[in-house]
Amino acid sequence: MFFIIQQKISVHSVCSVVRGLPGTCMKYLFGPVNSRRLGLSLGIDIIPNKICSYNCIYCEVGPNTDQTCERREYVPVMDVLAEIDLLLTDKEAVDRLDVFTITASGEPTLHSGIGNIIRHIREKSGKPVAVLTNGSLLHIGEVRQDLMAADIIIPSLDSARDESFRKINRPAACVALEDIIKGMKDFNREFKGNLWLEILLAKGINDSAEDIEALVEATHSIQPERIQLNTVVRPPLESFAVPLARDELEHIAGYFHGNVEIIADFTTKKQKHFRYANQNDILDMIQRRPCTADDIAQALNLDPSHVAATLKELTKSGRLTVTGHDGKFFYQKENNDRKQN
| Binding stretches for ligand SF4 (CB under 6 A) | 1-2, 52, 54-56, 59, 61, 106-107, 134, 339
For ligand SF4, the closer of residues 19 and 339 by Cβ is: 339
CB of 146 to ligand SF4, least distance (A): 18
Residue 216 CB coordination number (10 Å): 15
For ligand SF4, the closer of residues 135 and 297 by Cβ is: 135
CA 226 to chain centre: 17
Write the CB contacts of 259 (distance below 8 Å, at least 6 apart in sequence). 225, 226, 227
Burial class (CB in 10 A: 0-12, 13-18, 19+), 173: exposed
For ligand SF4, the closer of residues 168 and 320 by Cβ is: 168
Q: How far is CA 315 from CA 207, 287, 295, 296, 319, in A?
A: 36, 14, 17, 15, 6
CB of 270 to ligand SF4, least distance (A): 29
For ligand SF4, the closer of residues 198 and 207 by Cβ is: 198
Q: How far is CA 224 from CA 155, 163, 168, 191, in A?
A: 10, 23, 22, 11
Three state DSSP letters for 60-111: CCCCCCEECCCCECCCCHHHHHHHHHHHHCCHHHHHHCCEEEEECCCCHHHE
CB of 217 to ligand SF4, least distance (A): 22
Residue 78 CB coordination number (10 Å): 10
CB of 104 to ligand SF4, least distance (A): 7
Task: Judge contact between 1 and 340, C-beta under 8 A.
Answer: yes
- Quote the DSSP letter at residue 297: H
CB of 317 to ligand SF4, least distance (A): 29
Alpha-carbon torsion (83, 234, 67, 107), positive or negative: positive
For ligand SF4, the closer of residues 169 and 298 by Cβ is: 169
For ligand SF4, the closer of residues 144 and 339 by Cβ is: 339
CB of 279 to ligand SF4, least distance (A): 27
CB of 52 to ligand SF4, least distance (A): 3
For ligand SF4, the closer of residues 18 and 52 by Cβ is: 52
| CA atoms within a 13 Å half-sphere pointing along the CA-CB vector of 268 | 8
